[in-house]
A and B are shown apart, each in its own frame.
Chain A
Amino acid sequence: MKLSDEYKELTWQGLWKNNPGLVQLLGLCPLLAVTSTVTNALGLGLATMFVLICSNATVSAIQQWVPKEIRIPIFVLIIAAFVTCVQLLMNAFTYGLYQSLGIFLPLIVTNCAIIGRAEAYASKNPLKQASFDGFMMGLGFLLVLIVLGGIREILGQGTLFDGADLLLGEWASVLRVEVFQLDNQFLLAILPPGAFIAMGFLIAAKNKIDAKLAEKAPKKANVEIERVRVNFDS
């Protein structure tokens, strides 16, 4: 019972309460750079999730052998190795997507969410929980990427899943939805400033929902003002 509570808590933290994209605001660089279409967002999100699960699992598995003084370089080494592997695999098996995401893939190394989870959670918890935490944090990040990608693609090009065949193979070109026909693309939504603005609205929406939830639950009305922490178990 206690264990399932912990998984529940990890899910809640990863997807909502401590979402790496919306709350921790980590990994903004890839987040804003690639979310011009849903396909790109999905590609980078899956790659990030994969790296996050692998790095969390590895860091957790080796925690007893890693002295405190050199843990950070070792984490960086592990993350960089997994990112390079993902890059090679994507180059080999999803070549089209690799061409549109190529320069952003190495940015996963600089995604602080990954080293943040390694340091804050994986290095202190058992393998199973750490992998699960990586999965949920990755999923939370992926969902924010997709929502942001969807908003920007609809506003910018009037489509959804444009170029999905690059990621998923030829059959996926049927996924492309033309929401409405645009004579001229709405440039702001496609360029980085549009990403910042959309991101701002997303965070505002999340805060609004949180406020509504807090109102509905009067018992917890005396919410203390909490600093956003990467490390929720401290």
Chain B
Amino acid sequence: MAMFEGLSEKLQATFKRLRGKGKLTEADVTEAMREVRVALLEADVNFKVVKDLVAKIKERAVGHEVMESLTPGQQVIKIVHEEIINLMGANESKLEISPKPPTVIMLVGLQGAGKTTHGAKLAHMLKKQGKQPVLAACDIYRPAAIKQLQVLGEQIKVPVFSLGQDSPVKIAQESIEFARKNGNDTLIIDTAGRLHINEELMDELTNIKEKVEPHEILLVVDAMTGQDAVNVAEAFNQQLGLNGVILSKLDGDTRGGAALSVKAVTGCPIKFAGVGEKIDALEVFHPDRMASRILGMGDVLTLIEKAQQNFDEKKAKEMEEKIRKQEISLEDFLDQIKQLRNMGPLSSVLEMIPGMGKQLKDVQIDENEFNKAEAIIQSMTPEERKKPLVIKDSRKKRIARGSGTTIQDVGKLLKQYEQTKKMMKQLSGMPGMGGGGASSAPKGSKKGKKGKKGGQGKKSPFKLPFPF
């Protein structure tokens, strides 16, 4: 996140020049499209995909749609966003469930994409949904791959079918029998990583496919993949006929342009995304949200969902009230830190807030800072927590000693608290969380359309329920 010049920042810089003009000439659009092209390429969207996309956007932008609008710059951003969503697909897509169990899911991909890890993650997710999955260990090549799957299976209490280094085709075939006999309704087949140009190993996959007739063949793709993503996806799709994609390592700071490329060349939906090292760090993939991520617009919907899962509703309401009145105390501050940390790694939470990408550009999120903050606040008296203004030098000294920190740390925390209060003031003055500025207009119109889906009524815009 830090130092990364996001796509939306670039686009916004471009469109600043367009803003204020009454009408767009073709020359204006051409200039803007050059920037769009560069930005998409820097986000690792494939060259050819970018070409097509830019042509489409340009065609629409020069048309009367823009000419009639009052703010052409905003309109162009909207078109870019819409075209990316068009390409990504608007809705999430589910796994195909076979009426005759077991449902067979086969995972394929390059080395190091994350097949084994995501096989286990997927099994864990399905188990939580009440399914009874079983994993089949068909990676007989990589040293200790079988063992890895077994260890993971043990962690999530999902059986792992293995025949050691026997032929992968045979292992896959017999795993179906195993699933049937043991009443497992879902079978996930892990395969070895292979290069898409390795004919022998690609043929092995075809053999497995023919023998077990999977309901889902999912390609696992590293979100950081560059231009080559299209070659890989195309080759696997031609060989096997893919049903979907799992995008792994999306918790990095990549814009993930590969997602667009893969969708464009295969037409296959991205079904899941890996968002962390923990076994439950797998999410249903929301293509419309990914479009926003590629554009750096923030992932508000995911954030709201997370918040709803983890936040105590009553407390959140109280907090909203306090934010409105701008009277949060250090006690609330402490409370918020605790609740926030329940939502997962802070960096990933913050990244989902629109505009935050930009504001926190050079800020590194250090979870230890929060341990410190908690200790400091806990070393304060109730009075100090309510009215931090009373904390002068001698109190600072005491608090520092009590919390095992330094006076500077205490001072820093108090300053942060003041800044937060100031920020709250700004936030509560805003119509929504859009972050203001030019981009809020197209976003607003999008929100209106999707109101029913996101549960975002116009009257109750999502308020940031914690001090950031």
The answer to whether A and B assemble together is no
